[in-house]
Structure 1
Amino acid sequence: MTVTDEGTPTIAPGSVVLVRDEEWLVTQVEPTNDGSFIHVQGLSELVRETEAVFATGIAQESIEILDPANARVVADDSPEYRRARLWLEATMRRSSVPLTEPALTVSTEGLADTLDYQLAAVRKALDPEKIRPRILLADAVGLGKTLEIGMILSELARRGRGERILIVTPKHVLEQMQYEMWTRFALPFVRLDSVGIQRIRQKLPANRNPFAFYKRVIVSIDTLKSDRYLAHLEKQQWDAVVIDESHNVTNSSAQNNRLARLLARKCDALILASATPHNGKAESFAELVRMLEPSAVTPDGELVEDEVARLVIRRHRHSPEVANVVGDMWAERMEPRNVLVPASPIENEIAVELDEVWLHPKSGSNPYSGKNAKLFPWTLAKAFLSSPAALKATVRDRIARLGEPTRDTAREIEALQRLADLADRADVEPSSKYEELVRHLKEIGVGRGKTTRAVVFAERVATLEWLQRRLTTDLRMKADEVVVLHGGLSDESQQEVVESFKQESSAIRVLVTGDVASEGVNLHLQCHHLIHFDIPWSLIRIEQRNGRIDRYGQRHRPQITTLLLDPDSENFAGDVRILKKLMEKEHEAHRALGDAASLMGKYSEAAEEETIRQVLARERDLDDEVRSIDEIGAGDGIEDLFARLLSAQSAQTASAPPAEERRSTIYPDASSYLADALDEVFQTPGHDAPNGVSWKQHPEHGLAELRPPRDLAARLQVLPQSYLRDRKVVERFVVATTQSKGRAVLADAMSDDSSSLWPEASYLAPLHPVLDWISDRALGSLGRNEIFAVRGHVDHPSVLVHGSLTNRRGQVVAASFVIVEFPDPGHPTFATATPLASMSDALDRLRIATVNTGAVSDAEALTDLVRPAVHSAESAIGQMADAAAEETRSRVKAWSARLQTWQAQAETLFQRDTLRRRREDVTIERRMIEEMLPEQRLIRPLLVVVGEDH
């Protein structure tokens, strides 16, 4: 039965309750201010397809806990005791793995390549010493942070900590994140992009909270930060929140930060992800750390390095633990090609005009009439180095803003008009850099009827459109073969272009893109050529661009090519060589640090660009502004802290034991379980059935398919409507039953023959919704408060009992199995109890018979063994529960003491407003941590086993 430490009956996950005369399985307990929300799944016939939430604080709602000690024993007469096996499997699948379980359970059974360094991130996130799973994934670009997120979320879900999940990400990677969660881990999320939000508005009343309607959501940060959604978020509690590209939320005065701080207070698990997790300022990085754990930052803003080390994981491509395992799944980048392209006559004319009139004027001052006389000339220079079209657009835009000439603006307008005339000529006369781009694309095999692809990066939209127009003509390609991607496109259009480029069947051969594609977008699946048509004046941006094709999963050596226009003008030639040196510095940092941003220590694209402008203007020296590789890690700056973290984590990973995995299922694989369950529940002998469930297996192909009934189809509606429609999912749901087939169908979706990146079959990973659905159905195979009796290779009648300890949030802290043997069934008080660590250990001892020779005849009489078995198990499990409870209390006590010390220090340092906000954070932290305290024990009899001769 279920009791608190004081012996009071209460409700815990795994309990069976009776509400409104229907039987329900408790799946989650969510504490509230005046009771709890009890999340349940229907077991009895009328509610079998129903999920519900009951509130214990509502006086008129009667929730009766069925006492497991009163369970009645019934015989299983099915072949091979199939009903009993299915019921046990379903019970285990719907029972949470303990929070403190060190072994990985499901994260290694998806379609991600489970690399040791990624598993190290999962183990660190789940470390029970941290009480709550909170981590900053700060791996460098390309290491697979999205896959690490999916593995962590899978483990959290299996531990009962991932029922309600919110993922916040930039809008251009919404579909990519949804795609990875579903195809790799079988975790379905609803995507609330502009189309998804429109669907919600059609479905829900205007005042309905969409986050109460959907349990697992992916949404863009731009959508969430509006006041309308903030109001909804204030009312929601999440099991886990993921904030991708979290460096965008560190500004404490910005809306993004307000949103992130709110979400940090509204969740148990928090995963922040960013390859550039700080901007060089300790206070900015501290803002992220504080979201994870307030006490990891002292009240006066100092980072506690040991605490930060527990919360942050940081590796790069050449870290030993990464380099040793990626193998041919991440081909080594080729030496970069930095091509100096001699300027054409018209380009030289423009360079001279810019040099002598704007950048280094002979008159002593440039003609700019505004307040930024130092900045605007370099805006013109940057536009020129991008393309004639960008220069023309910049000049025309400035002339339009100035309007009619005045005494103050006449000189500037005259100079601008000369530039505009030159830019007009450059737009029709030969462009050396553009001609070199065409030559290079042809050299690497890009062209009509060819398969080679390339990504061409440029900063200005005018350049992107100019390139698309000219490349389409000069390469003799169709309009859909040269495609532009920039931030001015809708989120849906951006996602469509990115997803298309990943497919082998895509028509796109040249993707001309701006820096909207430099964060979080995977472009490496069909492409290993990247060309910088212009150079961002930022090491951070260069690194992010290169990471689009230089990342895990890249089978061909990435080739990064940079085209640098080299005018005859002496000053401009020097400027170009400075930019060339910038590209070389990024490559050095890539190999040694995996983090180019630490070289300049600005950690802001804008700050880096301003510094490079000053270098180009001869106001600073590049060597003074960009540190050497050897200097990183020796100081006391934030970049030096990260260098030490990286070094320490490499040493820890090298000495860590191999990742432990534990199997907690009865069936050898998910497809065997699903096939048995479907045949048992629906009596479907593998062909079309009149009850609407069709089930066909194709083991020779590693596939199976079924026609989803209404309740299963409803669980799949969160997936993209285009996927459901194109793959006809609700008519013919196809699953891959082996990992090899799952990977094959993913590859097929990217092939020439596929019209959709979403695969025809979804892999039957452990958390697949079809397995949850059939488990819920299988749990209804028994009547109210009943357990099965079967035969096995036992000397005495034995009862298998499961015991668990849960905390105040209803999460399982520890669990154990007990076999209670009755040498003399006539005297059930004489029993021996043997605790075991896992279900597989228990079944190995019980050895259930593989042939059912007939229902156990006196099953009803065996009911007399249940109550004494429960009592014996309580004693046997008590020691385990006491030890686990004491260990958890000790961790909570240490955590609370640290918070108390922090708060005492804060009282003497903060002004009232700051103190109030910090005190709120700590109060919420303390309350959530105290909810981790163990409170309830649940003892459940699962099975009675008698001897084969019984």
Structure 2
Amino acid sequence: MSKMLVEGARIGTRGEDFLITKVNDNFDGTYLIDAEGISELVKGKSFKFDTNIDKDIEVLDPAKTTLVADTDYGYRKTKLFLETQLRHSTNYSEKITIAHKAAFNNADYQFDPTIKAFRLPRPRMLIADGVGLGKTIEVGIFLSEMMKRGKGKRIMVLALKSVLGQFQQEIWNRFAIPLVRLDSQGIAQIKSELPANKNPFEYYDKTIVSIDTLKNNAKFRHHIEKSKWDIIVIDECHTVSNSSSQRGSLAQFLATRCESLILTSATPHNGKKESFANLINMIEPTAIPKNGEYSQEEVDPYYVRRFKQDILDEEVKSNFQEREIVPIHAELYQEEEDFLEVQQKIKISALESLEKTTEDLWGNKDFVGKKDFLFSIGLFKGYMSSPSAALSSLKKRVAKIEARQAENNLAENNTELLNDLIEKIEVIVNDKKDAKYDAFKNELIKLKWSGRKKDERIVVFAERIDTIGYLEKRLQEDFNVADKAVQVFHGGQTDTEQQAIIDDFGKKDSDIRVLITSDAGSQGVNLHFYCNRMFNYDIPWSLITLEQRNGRIDRYGQSKTPYIYYMIAKSDLDGLKTDLHIIENLTKKEEEVYRTLGDAGAVMKLYDTNSEEDKVKEAMADSNEDFFEDFDTDSLFGEAETDKTDSCVDPEPIQEERSLYGNDSSYYQDLIDQLKADQLLETTDAEFVDKNYLEIKNTKELHRVLFDLPKQAKPKLNEIYRLSLSKDTVQDSIEEARKKKGEWAKFQMLYDLHPVIKYLMTKLEASVDKDVALVAKIKDLPENTAYFVIHGQVANNVGQAVISDFFVVPMRLDGGMASQPITLHEFMEEFNVSNELLTQSIEEEDINKLTKLLPDAIDFGTQMYMHQKQQLKQVEMEKKSAVYEEKLKHWEKDANDQLLLDFEDKPKTGFIKRKLEDRELEIKTILEKSSQYFKDLTSLNQDAYLKVISVFYKEQ
């Protein structure tokens, strides 16, 4: 019996019928089975069975199939049942088979990550495309294709708290994949609805949650340790690349709890091979040699990285707009220069002190000089954000000194100096002598912006919280706008607050006219809907941050020219002039990168925002206005190698469909009509408004079965789901939903992955008993022949159906095989079964003849078709296995060589001995797990599971 337990098989146990969705080997001769109920009592529910306990599980013996004449007009039920089996069956193509039907404009480069992942033993991939290229769409494509292959039942997405709602909505609207959002509100709801001991990650198959929620919630961490997933997605994965951090260690653990792993980031490394290796090791532990040295060729199979300039498709390019850069120079007021002159004197004095001081025995220079220089830079940076930010910092500093009585010869601890600086800024603030704000205000007036509903909406980025508050207050005062017209966004807000603001700002009916945001809004969030003007009120001292900010409105799908403004202070004061030029040069360099290279991180070759800021400080210390080296792309893999990958993995990524129906509309129409005819749907439960648009009522049963759909996407009881075959209709609906706060798209794609359609297809499957095959008599066949349509599957030791094929065994009605077995596609083409068929009378005598032929048809199918397929597949698998085993041996040798090198001069006692043993155990564990997994993956020892789907025949 166990050899017949494969994905897609129908079983009977405990008096009910189930469809197997996954088989896990217990490695003791028993199996753990995931199944979906299909008979009335268990319909739509998920179950687990252990064959050690459930010993009454029955798998259909194909030779004992009951043949039943189809009496429907045109043999509709036979065709429908066969088509539904085709659509529901596991597909193992390395091409795109379903995702191209989702609601997005097909772009071949977006299919690359999925196709590349399918070429690996385990589909795992790092998606590292540049800012604004549509990584969420690429994730949706992967999830869709994995679900089509029966490997995407259990999914967990980890994302930044600010984008949970945005990501959830995008994946639902475009791909109809439901994710339960576990933000603070969602968690509170779970606590009220689920028993305290219930694991939410077992109750909900598909979830989206912030990694910080998991990291900080001990109970959730406990639940995670008890759960496994088919797929885990970690968005903005650079936040987990440090394996020693709390986030990093959690991510490393999660990588072991899933079959497939998708990591996404526009900034996948910090220029160090180690950080990139940490991400690749999560995908494949044996990809990176233990010495940490690797080439691009070694890791290329595990990631994709392209930039806007790499995409050659003109249609794709049309979804980007050429941006306009607008530098706005603000000539500083005398009062501002008076303050910054003091700042410059502190800086110059500190640098002179450093120059006069020689290094001591430990390589340290003058402590006072270092501290004073950093203090002067902090003053400058604070003021370049806003006078308010600088004033707040100084007041906090004075309060701290007074509390600790820490005054000494450091400038930052000199209260007389600090109070003098405070007085100077208070004059600036009180007299409103803020040149940069005045220039900003004048630009808004020039744009005829007054904060009214008809005005353009604007994004303003500022680093300091005090600056954000300062801008909010001044805009409200100067333009006399309502509080709701000016909104702020920053990292101190709760997840639900952040999501509400982002959702609101992206809606046409939003009252927000200006969104003032910290750099918490620079990663992941979409700000380009109804907004194409962005001000960098202060210039971040990092090209990476600058690129991320600009990418919020300059991204795929922006319909207008993005205008990016830089607020730049101007002065002729010695020293200050140079520092201001250094900051302005950052904006020029970012634009140069944007026009040519595409990767801002490759300029300073630091790949880390803090390190880039330090580089800017060094430039100010050296008065070096043009401190950028000539940049190229040899940052990670050495000279002449880049971290970019090909932007075309497969020139023909989409697999041709094979169907008994001319189009999807005909199939879905027949499906609905048949379910109504069998009284499995009420007449008013589903109706095609036209050939492309289907309305389905949310009945009590459907409401119960689809309990885990996002509440915003789910109609109320007895209201309708609107499904369309037209991408334009669905995408227009997505656009329409952006007009109103809280709205989700009213239409979703009418395709096989939609939960409602999957429910209807399962209903149709269940309407034919598990041990029944339908019989159709058609005139186009040769006389005295019967064609047995069979679905054959062979599973590997992981329980996955490695071979899943529909074929046809031709038999003579008087016994014996009429010809060699052929594929279902060949049968469909040769005998036109896709055409309209004429229903004929089928006699009981004919059914008896066909029933007698069944055992021979099964034997012939097994020996002459499935065994051959299995042998060919086994040869293919053995070749892959040999290559993989060789790779493992190479990795093992490198790992052991490195171990000897690391410990050869160290005593093998105490702590060092334990460390050595830990490293040896780590290597052994990785090898054993990897080797065993690949053996199980490529093993085809199991017997083929055959199921008779239907029989077509013609008598003499």
Whole-angstrom distance in 1 between the partners of 2:252 and 2:825: 40
Between 527-536 and 783-792, the greater mean CA deviation after superposition:
783-792
* Deviation digits for residues 478-512 of structure 1 (CA, Å, limit 9, x no counterpart): 22222111111111111111112222222222111
Amino acid at match of 2:103: L
Query: How far is 1:663 from its partner?
Result: 1.5
Residue 646 of structure 2 corresponds to residue 649 of structure 1: yes
Distance 1:902 1:49, change over 3 A: closer
Q: Assess if the C-alpha contact under 8 Å between 1:678 and 1:684 holds in 2.
A: no
Q: Assess if the C-alpha contact under 8 Å between 2:504 and 2:741 holds in 1.
A: no
Query: How far is 1:606 from its partner?
Result: 0.8
Unaligned runs of 5+ in 1: 3-7
Q: Assess if the C-alpha contact under 8 Å between 1:69 and 1:866 holds in 2.
A: yes
Amino acid at match of 1:378: I
Residue 168 of structure 2 corresponds to residue 163 of structure 1: no
Q: 1:85 aligns with which of 79, 84, 90?
A: 79
Whole-angstrom distance in 2 between the partners of 1:838 and 1:467: 66
Whole-angstrom distance in 1 between the partners of 2:367 and 2:474: 32
Query: How far is 1:837 from its partner?
Result: 6.5
Residue 209 of structure 2 corresponds to residue 209 of structure 1: no
Q: 2:769 aligns with which of 783, 787, 810?
A: 783
Query: How far is 1:385 from its partner?
Result: 0.5
1:447-596 mapped onto 2 (5 Å cutoff): 447=450, 448-596=452-600
Query: How far is 1:808 from its partner?
Result: 1.8
Give the TM-score normalised by structure 2. 0.90
Q: What is the aligned partner in structure 1 of residue 421 from structure 2?
A: 419
Query: How far is 1:670 from its partner?
Result: 4.5
What SS does the aligned partner of 1:296 have?
coil
Distance 1:82 1:406, change over 3 A: same
What SS does the aligned partner of 1:822 have?
strand
Whole-angstrom distance in 1 between the partners of 2:719 and 2:836: 38
Q: Assess if the C-alpha contact under 8 Å between 1:801 and 1:940 holds in 2.
A: yes
Query: How far is 1:274 from its partner?
Result: 0.9
Q: What is the aligned partner in structure 2 of residue 53 from structure 1?
A: 48
Query: How far is 1:395 from its partner?
Result: 1.4
Q: What is the aligned partner in structure 1 of residue 755 from structure 2?
A: 769
Aligned residue pairs total: 916
Q: What is the aligned partner in structure 2 of residue 731 from structure 1?
A: 719
1:486-885 mapped onto 2 (5 Å cutoff): 486-618=490-622, 621=624, 623-624=626-627, 626-629=628-631, 631-633=632-634, 637-638=635-636, 640=638, 644-646=642-644, 649-650=646-647, 656-683=650-677, 689=683, 694-699=685-690, 702-724=692-714, 728=716, 731-751=719-739, 754-792=740-778, 793-795=780-782, 796-823=785-812, 825-827=813-815, 829-836=816-823, 838=825, 841=828, 845-847=832-834, 849-854=836-841, 857-858=844-845, 860-861=847-848, 862-874=850-862, 875-885=864-874
Whole-angstrom distance in 2 between the partners of 1:347 and 1:714: 66
Q: What is the aligned partner in structure 2 of residue 431 from structure 1?
A: 434
Query: How far is 1:546 from its partner?
Result: 0.8
Q: 2:449 aligns with which of 441, 446, 449?
A: 446
Whole-angstrom distance in 2 between the partners of 1:196 and 1:359: 54
Q: What is the aligned partner in structure 2 of residue 37 from structure 1?
A: 32
Distance 1:716 1:399, change over 3 A: farther
* Deviation digits for residues 178-208 of structure 1 (CA, Å, limit 9, x no counterpart): 1111111111111111111112222223333
Whole-angstrom distance in 1 between the partners of 2:426 and 2:716: 53
Whole-angstrom distance in 2 between the partners of 1:405 and 1:269: 54
* Deviation digits for residues 723-754 of structure 1 (CA, Å, limit 9, x no counterpart): 44xx5476322223322211111111123xx3
Whole-angstrom distance in 1 between the partners of 2:737 and 2:288: 47
Q: What is the aligned partner in structure 1 of residue 335 from structure 2?
A: 346
Amino acid at match of 1:777: K
Q: What is the aligned partner in structure 1 of residue 19 from structure 2?
A: 25
Amino acid at match of 2:754: H
Q: Assess if the C-alpha contact under 8 Å between 1:809 and 1:932 holds in 2.
A: yes
* Deviation digits for residues 909-947 of structure 1 (CA, Å, limit 9, x no counterpart): 333333433443343333332231233322221111123
1:135-154 mapped onto 2 (5 Å cutoff): 135-154=125-144
Whole-angstrom distance in 2 between the partners of 1:16 and 1:684: 21
Q: What is the aligned partner in structure 1 of residue 384 from structure 2?
A: 385
Between 659-668 and 473-482, the greater mean CA deviation after superposition:
659-668
What RMSD, in angstroms, separates the aligned Cα atoms of the two structures?
Answer: 2.8
Whole-angstrom distance in 2 between the partners of 1:840 and 1:222: 55
Q: Assess if the C-alpha contact under 8 Å between 1:191 and 1:718 holds in 2.
A: no
What SS does the aligned partner of 1:734 have?
strand
Q: What is the aligned partner in structure 1 of residue 253 from structure 2?
A: 262
Distance 1:681 1:395, change over 3 A: same
Q: 1:891 aligns with which of 848, 863, 880?
A: 880
1:881-920 mapped onto 2 (5 Å cutoff): 881-910=870-899, 911-920=916-925
Whole-angstrom distance in 2 between the partners of 1:694 and 1:224: 41
Q: Assess if the C-alpha contact under 8 Å between 1:836 and 1:842 holds in 2.
A: no
Whole-angstrom distance in 2 between the partners of 1:579 and 1:47: 66
Between 840-849 and 60-69, the greater mean CA deviation after superposition:
840-849
Whole-angstrom distance in 2 between the partners of 1:933 and 1:518: 44
Q: What is the aligned partner in structure 2 of residue 181 from structure 1?
A: 171
Distance 1:788 1:136, change over 3 A: same
Give the TM-score normalised by structure 1. 0.91
Q: Assess if the C-alpha contact under 8 Å between 2:230 and 2:258 holds in 1.
A: yes
Query: How far is 1:349 from its partner?
Result: 2.3
What SS does the aligned partner of 2:373 have?
coil
Distance 1:511 1:716, change over 3 A: farther
Q: What is the aligned partner in structure 2 of residue 5 from structure 1?
A: none
Whole-angstrom distance in 2 between the partners of 1:63 and 1:348: 84
Distance 1:421 1:905, change over 3 A: same
Residue 269 of structure 2 corresponds to residue 278 of structure 1: yes
What SS does the aligned partner of 1:800 have?
strand
Whole-angstrom distance in 1 between the partners of 2:694 and 2:582: 60
Whole-angstrom distance in 2 between the partners of 1:669 and 1:477: 54
Query: How far is 1:89 from its partner?
Result: 2.6
What SS does the aligned partner of 1:705 have?
strand
* Deviation digits for residues 569-624 of structure 1 (CA, Å, limit 9, x no counterpart): 22112111101111111111122221111111111111111111121122x74645
Between 891-900 and 438-447, the greater mean CA deviation after superposition:
438-447
Distance 1:451 1:125, change over 3 A: farther
Q: 2:326 aligns with which of 334, 337, 353?
A: 337
Whole-angstrom distance in 2 between the partners of 1:103 and 1:442: 53
What SS does the aligned partner of 1:329 have?
coil
Q: What is the aligned partner in structure 1 of residue 913 from structure 2?
A: none
Q: What is the aligned partner in structure 2 of residue 110 from structure 1?
A: 102
Whole-angstrom distance in 1 between the partners of 2:448 and 2:830: 60
Whole-angstrom distance in 1 between the partners of 2:656 and 2:448: 49
Query: How far is 1:856 from its partner?
Result: 5.6
* Deviation digits for residues 223-265 of structure 1 (CA, Å, limit 9, x no counterpart): 1224433332222222111111111112121011111111211
Amino acid at match of 2:441: V
Q: 1:305 aligns with which of 296, 299, 304?
A: 296
1:223-262 mapped onto 2 (5 Å cutoff): 223-226=213-216, 227-262=218-253
Amino acid at match of 1:443: K
Q: Assess if the C-alpha contact under 8 Å between 1:499 and 1:757 holds in 2.
A: no
Distance 1:240 1:791, change over 3 A: same
Q: Assess if the C-alpha contact under 8 Å between 2:180 and 2:710 holds in 1.
A: yes
